Amino acid sequence: MVSFSSLVSAVSLFIACLAPSALADNPINPSFPYGSSKPWITPSLFDNTGNSAIVDEWTFGQLQNRNTALSVLQNHWNTWITEQDFIDIANAGLNHVRIPIGYWAFEVGPGEPYISGQLPYLQKAVGWARNHGIKVIVDLHGAPGSQNGFDNSGHRVSFPQWHSNSTNVARTDAIIKQIASLFINDQDVVSVIAPLNEHVHFHPCCEAFR
């Protein structure tokens, strides 16, 4: 997945839920333009590669020139979500945003073609949220081995491998702890850490993350 994660994977922003503790409590404007950089929402990021095999962040880094991929992602991270979006979110009466981020923003293992660089954008987004009275849900959207096999995990595969390898689970646990440590002094803004997005329960070990 390239998400806010492509702000994160490539930094994608999802509006989540309402909470009375946040400041942005204007009446909701249903015309707010929801968006993301997943292939089915923002296909141009992938279509512009000219390679139909590029379907997720794994193949985005694997199947094209590395410098080209990095340049495209950096432009995406710099332009897809800006502080103006947070102003618009607050003005729309929404008071939470959910920011998905892939594990590869924190560490990339041997042989993994992911491109890192998303983390400063996540931190910048938390600052923007603070400026405009918005709470943030930081969502670990992709785990090592893929927790669901979908492109939104960062790696589309026929069968997810996250649950079948104890190293994958241990890496995920360590990254969740990194996220918690990173925002330990930002609990006024980061109200929730979502430990794993849309995992598929193929194995009993997954139950620990339900």
User: Is a pLDDT exceeding 80 seen at residue 146?
Assistant: yes
Q: Give 193-202 pLDDT, tens digit per residue.
A: 999 998 875 5
Q: What is d(CA 159, CA 200) in angstroms, rounded to the nearest whole number? A: 10
The total number of structural domains in the chain stands at 1
Within 8 A by CB and 6+ apart from 22, the residues are 95, 96, 133, 134, 135
> Which residue segment(s) compose the domain that 174 sits in?
4-209
Could you say which DSSP state residue 6 is in? Answer: E
Q: Give 112-144 pLDDT, tens digit per residue.
A: 999 999 999 999 999 999 999 999 999 999 999
Determine the pLDDT at residue 31: 55
> pTM for this structure?
0.78
Within 8 A by CB and 6+ apart from 3, the residues are 9, 10, 11, 12, 36, 37, 38, 57, 100, 101, 102, 141, 152
- The CA dihedral of 170, 150, 75, 195, to the nearest 10 degrees, is -40
Looking up residue 172, the CATH number of its domain turns out to be 3.20.20.80
